[in-house]
Amino acid sequence: MTKGKINVSVENIFPLIKKFLYSDQEIFLRELISNATDALTKIQHLSSIGEVKGEIGDLGVKLKIDKKAKKLHIIDNGVGMTLDEVKKYINDVAFSGAEEFLEKYKETSKETGIIGHFGLGFYSSFMVSDKVEIITKSYKDEPAAHWICDGSPEYSLEKSEKEERGTEIILHISKDSKDYLEESKISELLNKYNKFMPHPIKFGTKEETIPGKEGEKEEKVTVDNIINNPNPAWTKPPADLIDEDYKQFYRELYPYQFEEPLFHIHLNVDYPFNLTGILYFPKISNDLNLQKDRIQLYQNQVFVTDNVEGIVPEFLGLLKGVIDSPDIPLNVSRSYLQSDASVKKITNYITRKVADKLNSIFKNERENLESKWNDIKVVIEYGMLTEDKFYDKAESFNLYPTVDDKYFTYEELEKKIKKLQTDKDGNLIILYAQNKDEQYTYIESAKEKGYEVLLLDSPIIPHLMQKLESKKEKIKFSRVDSDTLENLIKKDEEVISKLTDEEKEKLKPMIETAVENEKYTVQLEALDSNSMPFMLAQPEFMRRMKEMQQTGGGAMGNLPDMYSLIVNTNHELVDKILNTRTEKKRSSLIKQSIDLAKLSQNNLTGKDLTEFINRSIDLIK
């Protein structure tokens, strides 16, 4: 038997890297600036532990475009490389100097925030260049090096005259990629990927005014334009920040958002994984352009993506802000991400922090929470519906608004309505409306009886009610105009029927014949004589199933519209119907009464409405 090592030669792998490793050409700039930034972090670290003596100067990265010569320069004053290091780090594809550095200085470098680790980033520069040069001088007392490569595996490497410490990368931009010689394009990329990188990035110049000393004139000078903020808010300890800092950072992150965020959540852990960030509850806007601003994922202050699917729980998709974690594996598919145990931990942490923050706002500033509830409730309801861990925590702070703008927690609500709103089987009946105007008459009559009516109007609320009913024992949500309400009315009123059983037996078929073609179940009830003569009620169950179907709940085929027609046998009009001799007249009375019931529900439209109007005219003329 022979054992051996598969020999992957550069000839084979090089074209692959160029073509497939990065689906996105533009990331070459991010990679080169990350390398330069790493070089700066390294020199800073070496100086801090005394391995490099003396001044290390103002550290930074500088970009220059030479349009004529079709060159893009990326210059840093970091550690630089010796000839040998260029051979080792650059020529050996997939050998990461970043990983080697971390390994070598592992005692002291844990927190340095070194970015690189695959040893492939540099080669992305060939995606946009015909030729790449490196001119580099190490901090060590050795000659500088000049490396040139045209994208084939052949390169040249010789000594160079460069005297200052650091590295200059020169890209000879290819014809296909000449966009990258445009200032606007480079600015756009810097703004996308490098806006919060930890060392100053200089691109172009700007005018600055220096105020003159006593009596002297002020002075105008041209200075380098620094495009980034090296110390973004999320990297600072929460204790060092005030509310305004968070708002300021929101504006920095989303310069085109004019609405202020409602709440912020500062994320900050380093064990068992490292994650920092700030999430915001935005005011939900109807402007689709602004909705596009999403949570951004960074690694060591380098922008990676704003597609955080699989990392941030789905229900937090409406939130905005930043998360930064070097511990999220990104070179894998999204479906793998979701099953990855460490990512799962991160997802759970984010869920927990959001819940804890809401809970603390609830405890300490309840009024504030109430005043913003309508803007954030969708997120919370969606979270309760989809994440059981969130549900458990949210139970204590989820608020139930009433039609009169009062807000109850579940516990408070239960206490408040227990006495009046329990049906004969001991179920707690939670009454709600979805639309104050459409259900107005029903809301009013429920309130008159002393019932509390909630206003639950989010599109996903039917799903959540379903979940709450199955989680809690003996509760039923019931819309004010649904037929379950009857159970309650009967219970506390105990009204005696004015009609005899004989009369009832006569009345029922009369009405049934008049409404033959409609989908009503006729139900005779002895109600208060001041109540409406006829009422239409849709079974809560049917209506809710339909609503759930509209918002994507299991398919059940086409559910029919079904109504109960409740006839108040104690109403004068019902007497009149009973005593009307001609069938035509009787039928017209019944139809008129049903239409009035529909009208009160905002439910009379089209042909029915026209017929109603004509009949009414006949009646009064």
Q: Compare residues 121 and 533 and give the one whose CB is closer to Mg ion.
A: 121
Q: Which listed option, Mg ion, ligand ADP, none, makes contact with residue 119 (CB within 5 to 8 Å by class)? A: ligand ADP
Kind and range of the H or E run holding 280: strand 275-281
Least distance from Mg ion to the Cβ atom of residue 235, Å: 21
Which listed range, 108-116, 158-166, 229-237, 458-466, lies at the site for Mg ion (CB under 5 A)?
108-116
Least distance from ligand ADP to the Cβ atom of residue 201, Å: 13
Which of 60, 80, 113, 121 is the binder for Mg ion (CB under 5 A)? 121
Which of 33, 72, 79, 589 is the binder for ligand ADP (CB under 6 A)? 79
Least distance from ligand ADP to the Cβ atom of residue 25, Å: 16
Is residue 35 part of the contact set for Mg ion (CB under 5 A)?
Answer: yes
Q: Which listed option, ligand ADP, Mg ion, none, makes contact with residue 79 (CB within 5 to 8 Å by class)? A: ligand ADP
Owner of token pair 């989820």: 398
Least distance from Mg ion to the Cβ atom of residue 146, Å: 20
Q: Which listed option, Mg ion, ligand ADP, none, makes contact with residue 456 (CB within 5 to 8 Å by class)? A: none
Which of 29, 33, 65, 116 is the binder for ligand ADP (CB under 6 A)? 116
Least distance from Mg ion to the Cβ atom of residue 108, Å: 21
Which listed range, 63-71, 115-123, 432-440, 463-471, lies at the site for ligand ADP (CB under 6 A)?
115-123
Decide if 135 contacts 146 (C-beta within 8 A): yes
- Helix (H), strand (E) counts: the chain: 20, 21
Is residue 116 part of the contact set for Mg ion (CB under 5 A)?
Answer: yes
Residue 613 CB partners (closer than 8 Å, separation 6+): none
Q: With 0-12 CB in 10 A as exposed, 13-18 as middle and 19+ as buried, what is 566?
A: buried
Kind and range of the H or E run holding 146: strand 144-149
Which of 26, 76, 133, 547 is the binder for ligand ADP (CB under 6 A)? 76
Is residue 547 part of the contact set for ligand ADP (CB under 6 A)?
Answer: no
Collapsed DSSP state (helix, strand, coil) of residue 20: helix
Residue 130 CB partners (closer than 8 Å, separation 6+): 150, 151, 172, 173, 174
| Cα 255 from Cα 239, distance rounded (Å) | 25
Is residue 151 part of the contact set for ligand ADP (CB under 6 A)?
Answer: no
Residue 156 CB partners (closer than 8 Å, separation 6+): 147, 148, 149
Least distance from ligand ADP to the Cβ atom of residue 356, Å: 36
Which of 29, 63, 81, 429 is the binder for ligand ADP (CB under 6 A)? 81
Torsion of CA 182, 184, 186, 190, to 10 degrees: 180
Q: Taking Cα atoms as reference points, which of 318, 472, 456 lies closest to residue 391?
A: 472
| Cα 321 from Cα 238, distance rounded (Å) | 15
Neighbour tally for 417: CB within 10 Å:
19
Q: Where are the alpha helices (DSSP H) in 430-582?
A: 440-448, 461-471, 485-493, 501-514, 540-550, 572-578
Q: Compare residues 35 and 445 and give the one whose CB is closer to Mg ion.
A: 35
Q: Compare residues 190 and 596 and give the one whose CB is closer to ligand ADP.
A: 190
Residue ranges in 34-53 that form contacts with ligand ADP under rule CB under 6 A: 35-36, 39
Total number of residues binding ligand ADP (CB under 6 A)?
A: 22
Contact footprint for Mg ion (CB under 5 A): 35, 116, 121
Contact footprint for ligand ADP (CB under 6 A): 31, 35-36, 39, 76, 78-81, 89-90, 96-98, 116-122, 167
